[in-house]
Chain A
């Protein structure tokens, strides 16, 4: 099957659209969750949304909409518990997570729809997505992206330093609830792509990958959204071009691709951080160092290409040499 043939299939076109929009929206919200150190919040909302899906299946209404409503309610509840800052906040969150998951499975049983139907929401079924669902997904994802990118300065400031944002006159609680609501919205958006149990991965992993290499918030946000799209599309295509006879689910493939991206960039990030620490300038003090310590007999002359890391130290250069610092002084080296 060629690429053109795949793209001509209507269900694949729908799946590709859903993948692109999900890949953009989930990491956009995820960046703010990671910034607040709430990386697992998406996971919690995903659990609560299971009850929403089950409610939809039980009452015969659209599971997408009931999931949106229940997930938003759950997200606001999580935000309220967090804001209260009670010491048992994480326990309260755990109660909500498991209540949501158990309630969902319980209601599915009552409805008699069976576990298979629920499973398509738990692990995603992007290739069976209907036309209405694609439109709903696109609209909700677009709203999420507009809010997360358009209000980036405000959301960034609130997540970075709440006290400062409040004194600057920002309505901190409004923005906190806004992030919670759109986290819930993007959970339900990503529900059809990667499934409720893996939603959090698509929100968090691209951000974790991006920040290995970035220094600013805006590039992290943009790069995470780009990585989200690459992972979503890539996972979908890998699943579509899997050799005949093998069953490759798109949802887990998307998540595994995202994780692979992290595995590849992590060593690069670790090396960059190591390099930064080595080359950071040593502090210069007003008083010269008191101890004048000569290094031992030295086998070679330090210079630009001696292989040792050169670091500025006031008016001269130190060379990092086996964990200590050499500074040229006359015909020998001082330990600095």
Chain B
């Protein structure tokens, strides 16, 4: 079985400025992987590179064993972008947003098939928003909107789900609902890659934590106990020095010590 993601010596630049350098990352089928690290460490950039939204400036990227240039089975990948702040200028219902997740599997000028409708209903059920299907998306809270975007990705029945900061700005009740959703997916055998600043209720689900700093991967392995802690302050010596508490104001006071 081929690995969903195989990145070798990957580098990404945004407007000519190098953001990621020399990255090697293999996501194996069934991984529940959390990409962690401080702001600006390149987590979201890495996810956007994996989805092809940002081109690699060096290195190679294979998705399910196919070079990304030739990759066409996009329905195998479900992408949940960071929640857009503005919204569109025309009302849209929850059901319509989720239905757009089927597009990768639909032919042009064809109505929704029975399988399409079943997948949409199932996705809404999994995120627990089936009763809000007819409502306008703007009437939902931020955390619920985030769950709608996840349902949209699920509707395409992907093998791998990529989530960019799904917990950012989401209250604890919605984070728990999100964790329940992802647990359900994990048990179905989906591969999950998510970007998170802090794991919160997701911590028990994560089987692999990849910590990034300054565009590089500094740690890759089972999650540390403190990854689940709220308000974690990452600092330079994260990978090397065991951390006790959060009062590390010693070596790099500007980056984590001020509380």
Enumerate chain A interface residues (CB-CB to B < 8 A): 31, 34-37, 39, 150-151, 153-154, 156-157, 159-161, 163-170, 207, 211, 214-218, 220, 276, 280, 283, 285-286
Which B residues are CB-close (under 8 A) to A169? 72, 74-75, 103-104
A-B contact pairs, 11 of them (CB 8 A): A34-B89, A39-B89, A157-B100, A166-B53, A168-B74, A169-B75, A211-B90, A216-B93, A276-B139, A280-B139, A286-B173
Provide the bound-state CA to CA distance between A35 and B88, in Å: 5
Q: Is the CB of A164 within 8 A of B91?
A: no
B185 → chain A closest CB, angstroms? 17
A207 to B81, CA, bound (A): 28
Distance in Å: Cβ of B214 to nearest Cβ of chain A:
25
Least Cβ distance of A146 to chain B in Å? 9
B21 CB to nearest A CB, Å:
23
- Whether A215 and B134, one on each chain, are in contact in the complex, defined by CB atoms closer than 8 angstroms, is yes
Closest to A276 in B: B139
Contact A216 B92 (CB under 8 A): yes
Residues on B with C-beta less than 8 A from A161 are: 81, 84, 100
Tell yes or no: B51 within 8 A of A by CB: yes
CA distance A217 to B106 in the complex (A): 19
In B149-192, the 8 Å CB interface with A consists of: 149, 152-153, 156, 171, 173
Let me know if B109 and A151 touch, CB within 8 A. yes
Question: Which residues of A lie under 8 Å from residue B96 when comparing CB positions?
Answer: 156, 216-218
Q: How far is the CA of A214 from the CA of B245 in the complex (A)?
A: 52
Say yes or no: A156 contacts B92, CB within 8 Å. Answer: yes
Is B108's beta carbon under 8 Å from chain A?
yes
Which residues of chain B are near A280, meaning CB under 8 Å? 139
A31 with B72: CB separation less than 8 A: no
- Of the candidates B97, B109, B135, the one whose C-beta lies within 8 Å of that of A150 is B109
B51's closest neighbor in chain A, by CB? A167
Q: How far is the CB of B67 from chain A (nearest CB, A)?
A: 16
Interface set of B (CB-CB < 8 Å, partner A): 48, 51-53, 72, 74-75, 77, 79, 81, 84, 86, 88-93, 95-97, 99-101, 103-104, 106, 108-109, 134-136, 139, 141, 149, 152-153, 156, 171, 173
Among the listed B53, B99, B156, which residue makes an inter-chain contact with A163, where contact means beta carbons less than 8 Å apart?
B53
In the complex formed, the residue of B with least CB distance to A215 is B136
Are B104 and A36 in contact (CB-based, < 8 A)?
Answer: no
Interfacial chain A residues near B86, Cβ < 8 Å: 37
Q: Report the separation of the CA atoms of residues A37 and B109 in the bound assembly, to the nearest whole angstrom.
A: 25
When distances are taken between beta carbons in the complex, the residues of chain A under 8 Å from B153 are 164
* Beta-carbon contact of B91 and A211 below 8 Å: yes
**Distance A39 CA – B106 CA, assembled complex (angstroms):** 29
Bound complex: CA A19 to CA B134 (Å): 34
Q: How many A-B residue pairs have CB under 8 A?
A: 103
| Cα(A164)–Cα(B92), bound, Å | 16
Top 7 A-B residue pairs of the complex, sorted by shortest distance between their CB atoms: A169-B74, A216-B93, A157-B100, A167-B79, A215-B136, A35-B90, A168-B104
Contact across chains for B79 and A220 when beta carbons are under 8 A apart? no
Chain A nearest CB, measured from B226 CB (Å): 24
Of A153, A211, A285, the contact of B106 (CB 8 Å cutoff): A153
**Assembled-state Cα–Cα distance A91/B48 (Å):** 30
Q: In this complex, what residue of B is CB-closest to A156?
A: B100
A153, A167, A276 — most chain B CB neighbours (10 Å): A167
Q: Which residues of B sit under 8 angstroms from A159, Cβ to Cβ?
A: 88
A164 near B90 with CB under 8 A, answer: no
Residue of B88, B103, B149 near A168 (CB, 8 A) is: B103
Known: A167-B77, A168-B156, A286-B173. A35 touches B97 (CB 8 A): no
- Give the CA-CA distance A8 to B75 in the complex, in Å: 56
Residue of B nearest to A159 (CB): B88
Contact status B93-A164, CB under 8 Å: no
| A95 CB to nearest B CB, Å | 24
Contact B103 A36 (CB under 8 A): no
Residues of A within 8 A of B75 (CB): 168-169
A37→B97 contact, CB < 8 A: no
Bound state CA distance, A168 and B77, in angstroms? Answer: 8
Residue among A151, A160, A214, A285 making CB contact with B88, cutoff 8 Å: A160
Q: A154-B108, A166-B53 are in contact. List 14 more A-B contacts (CB 8 A).
A: A151-B109, A154-B103, A156-B96, A157-B103, A160-B97, A161-B100, A164-B81, A165-B103, A167-B52, A168-B74, A168-B103, A216-B93, A216-B136, A217-B91
User: How many Å from the CB of B105 to the closest CB on chain A?
Assistant: 9
Task: Kindly identify which residue among B84, B91, B101, B152 contacts A215, using a CB–CB cutoff of 8 Å.
Answer: B91
Beta-carbon contact of B93 and A217 below 8 Å:
yes
A170 to B153, CA, bound (A): 14
Q: Counting chain B CB atoms within 10 Å of each CB, which of A163, A216, A280, A286 scores highest?
A: A216
In the bound complex, do residue B89 and residue A37 qualify as a contact, i.e. CB atoms below 8 Å apart? yes
Q: Report whether B92 and A153 are in contact in the complex, using a CB–CB cutoff of 8 Å.
A: no
- Residue numbers in A under 8 Å from B97 (CB-CB): 160
Q: In the bound complex, how far is the Cα of B74 from the Cα of A285, in angstroms?
A: 39
